Each structure stands twice: as C-alpha cells, then as structure tokens.
C-alpha cells in the first residue's frame, strides 16, 4: 500500500461514513409500498407482480405450506386409511421441501447433472413426491 496505489480488496473501515452509505434507509418506504401493492393484488387476483420474480420458489413454498396444512388437519381422505393418507401426504410435503432446497436460497435452479450426491438425493425426493402429488391431485376436489 505504500506504493501509492489504491487496493480495493482491502476493506476500508471509514467507507460507511463517506459517500452515500445512508441511502439504504430511503429504500424502506419504497419496499413497504411494494408490499402493500402486492397484498392488494393478491387479494384481487390471487397472485401479485412480486410473486412472478421468483415463481418457482414461491410456488414450491406455497404448495408445501398447503400440503402441510392438509397433513396437519387431515382434509380429504376418503378411500385410504388415515395412515396411508398421512404417508402419501408426507411424501408430497417432502418432495416440495426438496424442491425448495434444490432451488437454493436465491431461487436459482441448480444443475441436476452436478455430481454432488445431495442434489441427486433432493431430485429423487422431488420426483417421488411429484409422482404422489399427480396421483393424489384429483382427490383434492372430492
């Protein structure tokens, strides 16, 4: 650092006191307005403009939550025993949870071809849960 060059990889502790570090506080009212707008749109049409940005993660989380509610309150079983119904729903919930984990925290779909064993395991759980979900889906409106 003594040669007169500025090295950007060295963290400057005084950086937060200069420039415009405080601008993040101005984003809070804007985000609040977006949340209010999204809530209004969800109340009118069932989905919001903000849901489209991360649709896969949003849908996986929403469906998993609905399936967990079905599992907790035992809605909908008519031909199965409660134990069979619970086992099927648990497989479905595990599948949607696996998809959420597979998508990652930022919602970007990871490659299935990756050699990591945990990704293949998540994908197998997802496929098993989706198979049960497609077989079980028509019973939701009976």
Cβ atoms 57, 99 nearer than 8 A: no
The whole-number pLDDT of residue 1 equals: 47
CA distance 68 to 63: 9
CA distance 115 to 68: 31
CA distance 41 to 55: 15
Cβ atoms 103, 60 nearer than 8 A: yes
Give residue 73's pLDDT band: very low, low, confident or very high (50, 70, 90): confident
Q: How long is the chain?
A: 142
What digits encode the pLDDT tens for the residues 79-98? 677 788 888 889 999 999 99
- Tell me which range, 75-79, 101-105, 126-130, is most confidently predicted by mean pLDDT: 126-130
Nearest-CA neighbor of 123 among 107, 99, 94, 142? 99
Cβ atoms 79, 86 nearer than 8 A: no
The whole-number pLDDT of residue 138 equals: 78
Structure tokens at 17: 């006191």
Compute the average pLDDT of residues 48-65: 83
- Domain coordinates of the chain in residue numbers? 1-53, 54-142
Nearest-CA neighbor of 34 among 53, 57, 50, 55? 50
The CA distances from residue 26 to 14, 19, 22, 93, in Å, are: 21, 15, 8, 39
Structure tokens at 84: 């069979």
């Amino acid at each position: 650092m003594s040669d007169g060059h500025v090295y950007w990889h060295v963290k400057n502790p005084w950086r937060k006191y200069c420039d415009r570090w405080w601008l993040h506080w101005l984003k809070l009212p804007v985000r609040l307005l977006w949340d209010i707008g999204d809530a209004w749109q969800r109340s009118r049409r069932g989905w919001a403009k903000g849901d489209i940005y991360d649709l896969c993660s949003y849908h996986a989380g929403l469906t998993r939550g609905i399936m967990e509610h079905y599992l907790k309150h035992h809605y909908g079983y008519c031909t199965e025993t409660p134990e069979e119904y619970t086992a099927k729903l648990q497989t479905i919930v595990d599948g949607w949870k696996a998809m959420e984990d597979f998508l990652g925290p930022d919602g970007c779909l990871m490659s299935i071809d990756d050699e990591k064993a945990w990704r293949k395991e998540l994908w197998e759980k997802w496929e098993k849960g989706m198979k049960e979900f497609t077989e079980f889906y028509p019973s939701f409106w009976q």
